[in-house]
Each structure stands twice: as C-alpha cells, then as structure tokens.
C-alpha cells in the first residue's frame, strides 16, 4: 500500500517533478545572486527618511522605492518624461547599476509556476506539488519501514544499485523536498482560492487637504522612525496632486504618511495569516534567506536522479512481477504461499510450481495474505517467505499469522517452510522462523525440515526441492536461478596447485575467449572488482556455482581460488580443466563486499580459499591504507596461498601486517585464535573507525564472530553493532 | 474586450459623472441604444501597449477632472483585485471600492497588444476640462500611475497620445 502510494504518484508526477526541480534549482540562485550585488547596511543604521532623502538628491523624480527581501534597494524615477530604475547603494543614495529584472529568471519563473501555460499550467503545477508532497511522505515512511524503524534511518542501505542510489538521495533530500512541495502546494491552493487569500488588505486612503507646501522627505517623522531593514515599499505622492500622500509598506504593515506634517496615517498592521503566507513564501523561494535558497536548490537537484532511479526500480519490479499460474483454491492438492517484498521469492515459487505441475500436482500459488479458511482438496502447504527489516513480515504476508490463527481446526495440512534472507542481517529469516513456529503450534505435521536460504542461493533451493520431492514420493528437479545473465565462454590461461592430496586447492586465471570477442562486442566482460562473483556453469548443469574473484577487470584476467570438494560437480570439472580449455561463465556484482573508500583501516579475515578476494583487495590498495590480514590455512608447506603476492605487498606497504594461523602443524591453531592473541591491537583499529571484512566458510565465520564479540566487549561493541554501521561485511559460503 | 456603457445623467454628482446603467441591455439588444439619452455619445478607447518583457499588464482606464481628481472608472484590465493597489492613482481615487469597478473588469493585457473599450460618455464631459487616464502595472516591474493622460475634447478624437510607462499610445474615436 505504502509502496503504491509512493510509486504511482511518483510516476504520474515524474516529468513535471524534473521540470519543476530543475527550474526551482535555477531560481534558487536568484536570492544568492541578488544578495551578492546588494549593499546592505546593518539594521538600525539607516532610516527610511534618510534613504529617501539621499535617493531624491540623486533622482529628484523618484516615484517609488522598493527593498527586496534580499536587501536590494531599487528606485523608480521619472526624468524628463522618461522613466528609469536603478539599483541603489543605500549608504550613498547613488546608483550601483541601472536596474533591470533578469529576463532569464523571469522566464524560468514562468516555467516553474505555470509551465508557460497560464492558469492551466499553474493548476497543473499545483497538483504536481501536492502529488510530490505525497511522494515525499510515503517515501519517507516506506524507507523507515524498510530500515526497521526511525532509529535505523541513517544506517547502511541494501538493495540494487538503483535502489541504493534512490534511497540514499531520498533520505538526504526528503526534508528539503517535502518543504518545497508542501509550501508550493499551499501557495497554489491560495492562488486558486482553495485556502483563504492571506494577502494584506489595503487600508483605505486617507483624506488630507493642505495648501501648505510639502516637507522634504528626509524630515518626515513617520519615515524617520522606520528602519531600512523593515522597508518593503515607499510610494511618493503624485507631484501635481495636493491630496496625495506617501504609501508605506513595511514588514509590520501598511499605511500612509502625510507629506506636509509627516504623520503616519491609517496604519494597518500585518494580520496573522499574511505573516504565515509571507513565511511560507519565503520558505519556498528562499528570498531574503540566501543560505536556505542554496539548501533548497541543492535538494531540488536530487529530484531528476530520484525520478529516474524510481522509474527504473518500478520498471524492474513490474517486468518481473508474478504471473498467475496454477489451480484454484478449491481444486488444488498443493498450496504454495509466498511472502515477498521484492519479486525474487516469487521467482523461486514459480519455478517450484511449474516443476510440481509438470510432475502431476495441482498447485495453487498465491500470496501469503490470501490464505483462505480452508482448502478442500489440499494435501500439503508450502510457504516460501522473505523477511522484512528486523524480522518483520513482508508486505504480502503482513496478515498471514492472524489469518492462520482463524483457520479451520479440522484442517491438518502437512507443511514445509522455506525462508529467504541475508545472513548479514541480525534477524536472518526472522519472519520465516516465526511462520515455522506458528505452523508447528497448529499441530500440523512437518513435511520436511525448514531451510533458510542465504542471498538467493539457488544451490540450496535446488537441494531443498529435491528433498521436498522425496517426501512426496516424486522425483522433483527444480532448477531456478534468479536473474541469471547470459554466460560467455572463458578460456583458462594458467593454474597453480596447492593443498594436500585429500583436499587440493587451485588458483585459476581465466580470460574471455578470443573467438567470442571477435564475434560480438556485446559479450565483452562487464567490468568487475575483486570481491565480485563469477558464476560458472559446469557442463550438463543449469545451476551456476559462484566463486569470489581475486582480481579486477583492469588486470585483464578473472582469478579464482577453488578447493576441490568430494563429489563436487563444478570443482571436479575445474580440477580437470587444462589451460586453453573453455568454461561458460558470467560476472555477478557483489558491491556489498568491498572495503570502504577513504583512509580508515581495514581488517581482513579469512581462511582457506577465502583468501582470494582479500588478496585482491590488498593488491588493489594503491592508496596504502592500513590493511591487516588474518588468514588461516592448514600447513604452510602445502596451502600457503598467495605467499609471494602477500610478501611483495608487505614490502611495498600495500599490506601493513600479515598474521597467519595453521591448523595442521604442531601446536596448530585457527585464525580466531590469532585474533584473540591480537585483541588489543584489534580494539585499537576498530576504535579508529576500522572496518572488518570476513571471507571463508560458515564455521570459520561463526568462530570469528564469537572471537570478535569477546574482543570488542570492553569497547561496549559487538559484531552486530559494527554490521549495522556497515563496518562488518561477510562473504561466507 | 469590448464593453458598452452609458450614463444617464449629465450632471456631475459627488465626483461621479458616469453611471453604469443599461449595461447588459445595451450589450444584448443594440436596438435599445436608440432610447439612450441624446446627451451621450459612444466612444471607443484604444490603448496600445509597448513591447516589454513581462506578464500581462494591469490597466485602469478612468476619468478625472482637470486637476486629476477621480471621477469614475471606465475599465480595469487584470483579474486579481489584490494587485489593484499597484494602479495607485486610480486606487486612491476609487478607494478600491468594489462598486466602482464591478462589472467593468477583464483580463490583463499582454505586451504589445491593444485594449479596446467602447463606452457611452455624456456629451458634457467633452470640452469640459475632463481627462481620461490609464494607470498601469506589471508584476515584478515598476508601477506607472498616470501612465497616459488624454484630455477629452471633441477635436482630440482620433489623435493618439503617448504614454510614459507601458502604454505606447491612447486614442479615442467617436462612432
């Protein structure tokens, strides 16, 4: 709902928002420019009478003096029957320059407030401003929910590049944009009479009748008591008309001045609404508040990027939106329910549905929120769900637990739960676990044990599907890879072998195949960095295996470090691959696993082949930021990977320290033991804003986390706190 | 932008020589013009604006005596009454009271365009020391009170008079 409230008005208002924002940003320069040209004496130094006197001595035919909110003083005069205007230096009364309002800003202003289309344009702009207010508010609330509360608003963002750019710009600019949109809406509503017109009502003209000559303007006492800083406008009486008077407008109100006696006549103070309108007008335009104008202008510049990234996000979601497949609720023997914020989980669910239907099941596929009270023919229920924020339900599952409570007690459906999540979040698969517990409390039999899938891991999904098939007595083969890009052939350049005979390790270097590069430019490898992933399809398999890259595209090769697993399809294939032979592969960006830019120190922790991306980061550390490597192997004589590279980097200071731990030697120990021994050093690095990157197997990662929690305890810190700040990153397999 | 107007009374009364009567009737049924007092005549005022860079101009076309004292309003161009204060001489004379300009307003006039206003004026106004004036104003630009002043004489018809503000020239013609 919130998402719709954000995306639909956002799409409708898109192009208008860009026009309004760019023109608004240009207009924001105006108060700044105006202020820079004006001479503004300090308040209390100059009265309106003194100013008028000085101006009249230079321009006897002065008819009107205006002071803009920025402090510019403009005199309008007649000289020998022709009219003129001058920007005045108030301290001398002299002209700084002839005054001519900028045509360019005039044009931009017209575009901004009416799209050059008169009242129809003004109405359109007003509606656009109202929609933009809705977009800002819904976007803010949506972000708060996504981040898991207001406290987490400033925390690191997750998602695709477009999503991160969108939310990053959004959370920086939302306050300013909301201010602009709301004030613009208010001004438009006032213009069209939807809100009461708050402009100051003109006081009635007074009647004066003097035969006496007018006093010099500098002597008029009503004008002597008004400071220049309060002046808005002073209109001189018509020379030939003895009944005419001065009209005076100040920040406090409007009135008249008797040109003979100098008395203030029928002064009307500004009413409250007029002050409110003035304030809102000023907040919208930044007139007289050049610093606000700069903030408003910069905020507005975020709009084009927000609009475009927002459209991209919407389009991607739409393109991968779930198609309706399967049987009706009444006919189905298998009910698959999906809880998802994005569409990834739907992709897995559809693949599962298709495979089950192919093997003869009648599957009903629906969102978790559409859980019905009963399913007359159902024999099993399968729930696939993501988790939102800090263990919350995704949008399409928000009502699931309540509905489950109300379900018929006669039902006794065997169930299976599959959770999707990201282990970097503390509440990994939190909602999926709640669902599992709620189903268990129902007393229904468990079809197969629940499984938690980390970051769209299709291997785990396929394994789970096989088990599901076994429990149903069918052979179920589901091969689903979310958003797998097209593969390209890559040629093995060379290989190095390490490790012990029972567990060989090899470092492989690939290059895009030359034949392929000649054929088509489209298949050129996309740029990649160390830490990104390469997906490799072993022959005869549709499921890619992912390996972390130890090199970047600048190096011209894709380097990976692989340990052979017993019976592993892909690692066995890679073990037997000879230089010159080809594989099918693609690059998958992994931007969440990378050292931050800037000079903060980095602690790199890994074991075994986890050294790959870490060595890549070190090699790329041309800036010589402090990097401390903790790495665990088995035996320095067999599997000290990247020994030469690391030694070179130590010498030229790309690596500050190399700490190794070997487990299969006398008095062997693990990398977490090495961390504990170095506890005070690590606390110091973390205190200095250091960042921790961990790469390796799950058991090692768990051990490292426990060790670091102990090490950081004296600092009143732990891994989850660092993680929340984006200072603890993992690439775990 | 044409507008018909008549006056029923040649006698100036409390500074108001002009009355807006038969207005709608004359608009709809020109034949009624026959019944108009013999002491009035139909006059068309044409105010041509200079080219300038800005929004539409607000104009007040009004009658004064030879001392510039306001007598009555002929036409106000410009839709938002909150900006009428910028037509200052007229605003002061009419005191901006609604009854002075009710039914006599229209759209603002764009740069370079001409405003034509047709009214019935009492014969007595001609060669009687009366003047027709225009006050003008444009948003964000200067106000021009008494932009142009034209004495009402029988011989002066057809002769354009230059303005000092936004009005290039103002002329009037008898039918």
Enumerate residues 6+ apart whose C-beta is below 8 A from A519.
none
- Is-contact A73 A90, C-beta < 8 A? yes
Measure the CA dihedral A673/A674/A675/A679, to 10°: 100
The per-residue pLDDT for A424 is 63
* Region of residue A717 (left: phi > 0; alpha: psi -120 to 50; beta: else): beta
Measure the CA dihedral A56/A58/A59/A65, to 10°: -60
State how far residue A199 is from chain B, nearest Cα, in angstroms: 7
> What is the C-alpha to C-alpha distance for residues A684 and A690, in angstroms, rounded to an integer?
9
| Average pLDDT value for residue range A467-490 | 80
Residues in chain A within 8 Å Cβ distance of B85: 202
Tell me the angle at which helices A272-285 and A161-191 cross, rounded to the nearest 10 degrees.
150
Instruction: Identify the CATH number of the domain in which residue A670 sits.
Output: 3.40.50.80
Domain boundary among A540, A566, A588: A588
**How are beta strands A582-588 and A488-500 bridged, if at all?**
antiparallel
Residues in chain B within 8 Å Cβ distance of A204: 95
Give chain B's domain count.
1
| Average pLDDT value for residue range A59-65 | 93
The per-residue pLDDT for A485 is 63
Residue reference for tokens 């503000």: B165
Question: Looking at the partner chain, which of B53, B54, B92 has a beta carbon nearest the beta carbon of A205?
Answer: B92
Q: How many CB atoms lie within 10 A of CB A182?
A: 19
pLDDT tens digits for range A681-721? 999 999 998 999 999 887 888 899 999 999 999 999 888 88
Residue closest to A95 by CA, chosen among A106, A79, A84, A80: A84
Global confidence as pTM: 0.57
Q: How many residues does chain A have?
A: 733
Residues 27-56 of B with CB under 8 A from A: 53-55
Mutation for testing the B interface, residue in A74, A79, A106 having most B CBs under 10 Å:
A106
Q: Determine whether the interchain pair A83/B165 forms a contact, defined as Cβ–Cβ distance below 8 Å.
A: yes
Does residue A450 surpass a pLDDT of 70? Answer: yes
Does residue A541 surpass a pLDDT of 80? Answer: no
In this structure, are A442 and A403 located in the same domain? yes
Residues 169-198 of A with CB under 8 A from B: 197
Q: Determine whether the interchain pair A76/B82 forms a contact, defined as Cβ–Cβ distance below 8 Å.
A: no
The per-residue pLDDT for B34 is 39
Residue closest to A616 by CA, chosen among A583, A651, A591, A642: A642
In chain B, the percentage of residues whose pLDDT exceeds 70 is 78
pLDDT tens digits for range A197-240? 666 667 888 888 777 888 999 999 999 999 999 999 999 998 87
> What is the C-alpha to C-alpha distance for residues A700 and A428, in angstroms, rounded to an integer?
18
Give the pLDDT band of residue A149 (cuts 50, 70, 90): confident
Does residue A516 surpass a pLDDT of 70? Answer: no
> What is the C-alpha to C-alpha distance for residues A163 and A436, in angstroms, rounded to an integer?
30
Instruction: Identify the CATH number of the domain in which residue B54 sits.
Output: 2.60.40
Query: Which chain B residue is nearest to residue A200, measuring alpha carbons?
Result: B82
pLDDT tens digits for range B103-142? 899 999 999 999 999 998 888 889 989 999 999 999 888 8
> What is the C-alpha to C-alpha distance for residues A434 and A426, in angstroms, rounded to an integer?
15
In this structure, are A206 and A239 located in the same domain? yes
Number of C-alpha atoms within 13 angstroms, CB side, residue B165?
Answer: 23
> What is the C-alpha to C-alpha distance for residues A224 and A248, in angstroms, rounded to an integer?
12
> What is the C-alpha to C-alpha distance for residues A535 and A537, in angstroms, rounded to an integer?
7
Question: Looking at the partner chain, which of B53, B91, B165 has a beta carbon nearest the beta carbon of A106?
Answer: B53
The per-residue pLDDT for B15 is 30
What are the helix (H) ranges across A442-578? 458-472, 514-519, 569-576
> Does A525 reside within a domain?
yes
Q: Determine whether the interchain pair A238/B164 forms a contact, defined as Cβ–Cβ distance below 8 Å.
A: no
> Does A320 reside within a domain?
no
pLDDT tens digits for range A645-662? 999 999 999 999 999 999
**What integer best gives the mean pLDDT of chain B?**
79
The per-residue pLDDT for A10 is 86
In this structure, are A188 and A284 located in the same domain? yes
Residues in chain B within 8 Å Cβ distance of A82: 164
In chain A, the percentage of residues whose pLDDT exceeds 70 is 94
The per-residue pLDDT for B163 is 92
pLDDT tens digits for range B39-51? 788 999 999 999 9
Residue closest to B72 by CA, chosen among B148, B167, B7, B145: B7
The per-residue pLDDT for A422 is 76
Mutation for testing the A interface, residue in B56, B108, B142 having most A CBs under 10 Å:
B142
In this structure, are A503 and A424 located in the same domain? no
Instruction: Identify the CATH number of the domain in which residue A395 sits.
Output: 3.40.50.360
Give chain A's domain count.
5
- Is-contact A339 A394, C-beta < 8 A? yes
- Quote the radius of gyration of chain A (alpha carbons, Å): 36
The per-residue pLDDT for B77 is 95
Mutation for testing the A interface, residue in B56, B85, B94 having most A CBs under 10 Å:
B85
> Does A97 reside within a domain?
no
In this structure, are A607 and A658 located in the same domain? yes
In eight-state DSSP terms, residue A214 is P
Beta-bridge mates of residue B137: B58, B143
Residues 587-616 of A with CB under 8 A from B: none
Q: Determine whether the interchain pair B164/A197 forms a contact, defined as Cβ–Cβ distance below 8 Å.
A: no
> What is the C-alpha to C-alpha distance for residues A338 and A345, in angstroms, rounded to an integer?
7
Question: Looking at the partner chain, which of B55, B68, B164 has a beta carbon nearest the beta carbon of A240?
Answer: B68
In this structure, are A213 and A176 located in the same domain? no
Tell me the angle at which helices A290-319 and A272-285 cross, rounded to the nearest 10 degrees.
70
In this structure, are A621 and A670 located in the same domain? yes
Residues in chain A within 8 Å Cβ distance of B164: 78, 81-83
CA distances from A17 to A61, A128, A158, A600, B46 (A): 46, 7, 26, 39, 42
Does residue A604 surpass a pLDDT of 90? Answer: yes
Nearest-5° angle of CA B83, CA B84, CA B88?
120
Residues 76-115 of B with CB under 8 A from A: 82, 85, 88-89, 91-92, 95-96
What are the helix (H) ranges across B53-158? 88-94, 98-101
State how far residue A102 is from chain B, nearest Cα, in angstroms: 10
State how far residue B83 is from chain A, nearest Cα, in angstroms: 10
In chain A, the percentage of residues whose pLDDT exceeds 90 is 44
pLDDT tens digits for range A160-177? 788 889 999 999 999 999
Q: Determine whether the interchain pair A205/B91 forms a contact, defined as Cβ–Cβ distance below 8 Å.
A: yes
Show the domain range for B45: 23-174
pLDDT tens digits for range A324-337? 567 888 889 999 99
Query: Which chain A residue is nearest to residue B65, measuring alpha carbons?
Result: A241
**DSSP assignment of A479-490, as one string?**
---TTPPPPEEE
Residues 62-91 of A with CB under 8 A from B: 63-64, 76, 78, 81-83, 85
In this structure, are A607 and A720 located in the same domain? yes
Say if residue B23 is exposed, middle or buried (CB neighbours under 10 Å; 0-12, 13-18, 19+): middle
**Two tokens at A198?**
């708050």
Question: Looking at the partner chain, which of A76, A197, A238 has a beta carbon nearest the beta carbon of B146?
Answer: A238
- Is-contact A718 A712, C-beta < 8 A? yes
In this structure, are A175 and A261 located in the same domain? no
Q: Determine whether the interchain pair B91/A202 forms a contact, defined as Cβ–Cβ distance below 8 Å.
A: yes
Q: How many residues does chain B have?
A: 175
Q: Determine whether the interchain pair A106/B140 forms a contact, defined as Cβ–Cβ distance below 8 Å.
A: yes
Residues 44-63 of A with CB under 8 A from B: 63
Give the pLDDT band of residue A482 (cuts 50, 70, 90): low
Beta-bridge mates of residue A603: A628, A692
> Does A193 reside within a domain?
yes
State how far residue B47 is from chain A, nearest Cα, in angstroms: 19
Enumerate residues 6+ apart whose C-beta is below 8 A from A30.
A102, A105, A287, A293
Residues 85-144 of A with CB under 8 A from B: 85, 101, 103, 106, 110
Residue reference for tokens 């208002």: A13
Count Cβ–Cβ pairs < 8 Å, chain A vs chain B.
Answer: 46
> Does B13 reside within a domain?
no
Question: Looking at the partner chain, which of A197, A204, A235 has a beta carbon nearest the beta carbon of B88?
Answer: A235
**What integer best gives the mean pLDDT of chain A?**
87
Say if residue A317 is exposed, middle or buried (CB neighbours under 10 Å; 0-12, 13-18, 19+): middle
> What is the C-alpha to C-alpha distance for residues A695 and A613, in angstroms, rounded to an integer?
8
The per-residue pLDDT for A699 is 83
> Does A329 reside within a domain?
no
pLDDT tens digits for range B11-45? 333 333 343 333 332 333 333 333 445 578 899 99
Show the domain range for A674: 602-732
In this structure, are A238 and A143 located in the same domain? no
- A204 reaches B (C-beta below 8 A): yes
- Is-contact A387 A395, C-beta < 8 A? no
Say if residue B112 is exposed, middle or buried (CB neighbours under 10 Å; 0-12, 13-18, 19+): exposed
Give the pLDDT band of residue A360 (cuts 50, 70, 90): confident
| Average pLDDT value for residue range A139-151 | 84
Q: Determine whether the interchain pair B142/A204 forms a contact, defined as Cβ–Cβ distance below 8 Å.
A: no
> What is the C-alpha to C-alpha distance for residues A206 and A476, in angstroms, rounded to an integer?
95
- Is-contact A86 A77, C-beta < 8 A? yes
State how far residue A99 is from chain B, nearest Cα, in angstroms: 10
Give the pLDDT band of residue A515 (cuts 50, 70, 90): low
In eight-state DSSP terms, residue A202 is P
> Does B12 reside within a domain?
no
């Amino acid at each position: 709902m919130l998402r719709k409230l954000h995306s639909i008005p956002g799409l409708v208002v898109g192009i208008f928002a860009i026009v309004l924002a760019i023109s608004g940003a240009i207009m924001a320069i105006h108060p700044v420019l105006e202020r820079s040209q004006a001479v503004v004496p300090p308040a209390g130094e100059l009265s309106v009478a003194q100013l008028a006197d000085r101006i009249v001595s230079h321009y006897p035919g002065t008819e009107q003096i205006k002071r803009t909110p920025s402090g510019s003083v403009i005199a309008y005069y007649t000289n020998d029957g022709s009219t003129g205007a001058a920007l005045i230096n108030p301290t001398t009364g002299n002209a700084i320059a002839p005054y001519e309002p900028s045509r360019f800003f005039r044009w931009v202003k017209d575009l901004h407030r009416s799209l050059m289309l008169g009242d129809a344009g003004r109405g359109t702009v007003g509606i656009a401003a109202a929609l933009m207010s809705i977009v800002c508010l819904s976007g803010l609330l949506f972000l708060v929910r996504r981040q898991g509360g207001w406290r987490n608003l400033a925390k690191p963002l997750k998602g695709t590049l477009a999503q991160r750019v969108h939310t990053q710009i959004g959370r920086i600019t939302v306050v300013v944009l909301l201010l602009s949109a709301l004030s613009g809406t208010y001004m438009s509503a006032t213009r069209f009479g939807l809100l009461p017109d708050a402009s100051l009502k003109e006081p009635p003209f007074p009647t004066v009748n003097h035969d006496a000559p007018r006093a010099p303007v500098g002597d008029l006492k009503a004008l002597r008591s008004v400071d220049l800083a309060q002046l808005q406008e002073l209109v001189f009486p018509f020379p030939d008309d003895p009944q005419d008077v001065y009209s005076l407008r100040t920040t406090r109100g409007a009135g008249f001045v008797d040109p003979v006696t100098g008395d203030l006549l029928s002064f009307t103070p500004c009413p409250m609404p007029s002050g409110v309108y003035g304030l809102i007008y000023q907040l919208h335009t930044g007139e007289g508040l050049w610093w606000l104008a700069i903030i408003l202008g910069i905020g507005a510049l975020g709009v084009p990027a927000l609009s475009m990234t927002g459209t991209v996000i919407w389009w991607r979601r739409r393109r991968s939106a779930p198609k309706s497949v399967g049987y009706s609720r009444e006919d189905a023997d298998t009910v698959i329910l999906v809880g998802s914020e994005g569409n990834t989980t739907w992709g897995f669910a559809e693949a599962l549905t298709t495979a089950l239907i192919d093997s003869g099941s009648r599957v009903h596929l629906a969102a978790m929120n559409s859980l019905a009270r009963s399913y007359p023919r159902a024999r099993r229920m399968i729930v696939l769900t993501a988790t939102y924020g800090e263990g919350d339900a995704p949008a399409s599952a928000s009502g699931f637990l309540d509905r489950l409570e109300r379900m018929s007690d006669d039902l006794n459906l065997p169930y299976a739960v599959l959770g999707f999540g990201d282990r970097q979040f503390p509440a990994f698969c939190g909602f999926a676990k709640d669902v599992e517990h709620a189903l268990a409390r129902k007393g229904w039999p468990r079809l197969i044990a629940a499984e938690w899938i980390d970051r769209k891991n299709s291997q785990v999904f396929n394994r789970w599907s096989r088990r599901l098939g076994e429990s149903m007595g069918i052979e179920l083969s589901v091969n689903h890879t979310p958003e797998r890009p097209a593969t390209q052939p890559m040629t093995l350049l060379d290989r190095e072998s390490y490790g012990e005979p029972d567990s060989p390790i090899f470092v492989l270097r690939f290059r895009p195949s030359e034949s392929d590069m000649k054929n088509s430019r489209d298949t050129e490898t996309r740029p990649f960095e160390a830490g990104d992933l390469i997906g490799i399809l072993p022959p005869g398999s549709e499921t890619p295996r992912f390996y972390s890259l130890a090199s970047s595209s600048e190096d011209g090769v894709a380097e990976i470090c692989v340990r052979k697993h017993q019976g592993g399809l892909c690692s066995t294939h890679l073990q037997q691959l000879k230089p010159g032979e080809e594989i099918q592969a693609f690059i998958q960006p992994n931007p969440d696993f990378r050292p931050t830019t800037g000079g903060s120190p980095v602690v790199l922790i890994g074991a075994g082949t986890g050294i790959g991306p870490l060595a890549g980061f070190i090699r790329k550390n041309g800036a010589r930021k402090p990097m401390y490597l903790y790495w665990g192997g088995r035996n320095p004589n067999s599997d000290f990977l990247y020994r030469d590279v690391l030694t070179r980097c130590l010498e030229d200071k790309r690596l500050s320290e190399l700490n190794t731990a070997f487990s299969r030697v006398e008095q062997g120990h693990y990398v977490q033991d090495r961390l504990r021994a170095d506890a005070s050093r690590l606390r110091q690095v973390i205190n200095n804003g250091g960042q921790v990157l961990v790469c390796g197997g799950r058991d090692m990662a768990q051990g490292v986390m426990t060790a670091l929690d102990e090490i950081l305890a004296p600092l009143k810190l732990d891994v989850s706190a660092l993680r929340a700040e984006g200072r603890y990153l993992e690439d775990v397999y | 932008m044409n507008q018909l107007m008549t006056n029923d009374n040649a006698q100036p009364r409390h500074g108001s020589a002009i009355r807006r009567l038969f207005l709608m009737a004359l608009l709809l049924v020109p034949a009624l013009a026959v019944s108009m007092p013999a002491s009035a005549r139909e006059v068309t005022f044409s105010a041509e604006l200079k080219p300038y860079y800005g929004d539409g101009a607000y104009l007040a076309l009004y009658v004064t005596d030879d001392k510039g004292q306001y007598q009555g309003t002929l036409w106000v161009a410009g839709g938002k009454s909150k900006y009428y204060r910028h037509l200052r001489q007229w605003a002061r004379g009419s005191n901006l009271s609604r009854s002075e300009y009710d039914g006599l307003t229209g759209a603002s006039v764009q740069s370079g365009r001409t405003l034509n206003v047709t009214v019935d004026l009492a014969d007595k106004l001609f060669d009687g020391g009366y003047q027709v004036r225009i006050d003008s104003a444009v948003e964000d630009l200067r106000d021009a009170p008494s932009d142009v002043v034209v004495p009402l004489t029988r011989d002066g018809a057809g002769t354009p008079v230059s303005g000092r503000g936004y009005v290039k020239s103002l002329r009037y013609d008898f039918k």
